[in-house]
């Protein structure tokens, strides 16, 4: 294993990494940012950073590595998403919006890359015990356990891995409509 510097928001960096890593058969898109930008008063530059990282970065890395994966028999792509792909919280609107767009891009990639035999799997998870959420006082999953669950899902060929109860609950709530996800919208 050889570490390679990669900035997902810099196309030249992405291309250089894909050129160097010619033996890749598993690509994990896990770059992240969390600006805390809210929808009404959040800095637009923060929204752009979230989109550049989670959406365009994921797309650019996957597009750049797709030929490498194809040459190596197809392989797989794992896009680390979030329960916030399906649910938007006011205090993290930019992150939620970017993760929702990343989910949509993941679905499109899944369909198109199937033609070359590349499996694309989305990982949905709530809070993991990482530096990004260290200041939050909420239950957090062990990253090693989430990695185990994700790799197990890849081995099974799953298109989506729902890694924790929070993600399972929110996903189930999608079919119940907006009111189920946002009960504060229901007028009493």
Give the HSE-up count for residue 48: Cα atoms under 13 Å, Cβ half-sphere: 4
What was the pLDDT predicted at 39?
87
Query: Quick one: which of 9, 5, 30 has its CA closest to 18?
Result: 5
Which H helix or E strand runs over 19? Answer: helix 11-20
pLDDT digits (tens, 9 = 90+) for 88-110: 988 889 999 999 999 999 999 99
User: Does the CA dihedral 109-114-117-123 come out positive or negative?
Assistant: positive
Structure tokens at 67: 């030929």
Query: Has residue 11 got a pLDDT over 70?
Result: yes
| pLDDT mean over 26-40 | 88
Reply yes or no on whether the pLDDT at 2 is more than 90.
no
Q: Domains of the chain: which residue ranges?
A: 11-177
- CATH 3.40.50.720 fits domain 11-177: yes
pLDDT of residue 90: 87
Q: How far is CA 84 from CA 40, 94, 125, in A?
A: 18, 10, 9
Res. 131 pLDDT band, cuts 50 70 90: low
- pLDDT at position 89 is 87
Q: Please give the Cα distance from 181 to 2 (Å, whole number).
A: 43
Cβ atoms of 179 and 166 within 8 Å: the answer is no
Sheet holding 76-80, edge to edge: 26-29, 76-80, 119-124, 160-162
Instruction: Write down the pLDDT at residue 188.
Output: 59
> Confidence band (pLDDT; 50, 70, 90) for 133?
low
- pTM for the whole structure: 0.91
Percent of the chain exceeding pLDDT 70 equals 93
């Amino acid at each position: 294993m050889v570490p390679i510097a990669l900035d997902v928001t810099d196309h030249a960096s992405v291309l250089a990494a894909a050129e160097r890593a010619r033996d890749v058969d598993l690509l994990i898109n896990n770059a992240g940012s969390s600006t805390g930008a809210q929808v009404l008063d959040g800095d637009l530059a923060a929204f752009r950073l979230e989109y550049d990282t989670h959406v365009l970065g994921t797309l650019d890395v996957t597009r750049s590595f797709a030929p490498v994966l194809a040459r190596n028999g197809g392989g797989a792509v794992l896009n680390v998403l979030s329960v916030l792909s399906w649910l938007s919280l006011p205090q993290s609107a930019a992150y939620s919006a970017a993760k929702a767009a990343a989910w949509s891009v993941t679905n499109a990639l899944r369909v198109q890359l199937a033609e070359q035999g590349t499996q694309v799997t989305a990982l949905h998870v709530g809070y993991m015990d990482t530096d990004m959420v260290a200041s939050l006082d909420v239950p957090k999953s062990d990253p090693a356990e989430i990695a185990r669950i994700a790799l197990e899902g890849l081995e099974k060929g799953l298109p989506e891995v729902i890694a924790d109860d929070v993600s399972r609950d929110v996903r189930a709530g999608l079919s119940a409509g907006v009111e189920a996800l946002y009960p504060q919208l229901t007028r009493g």
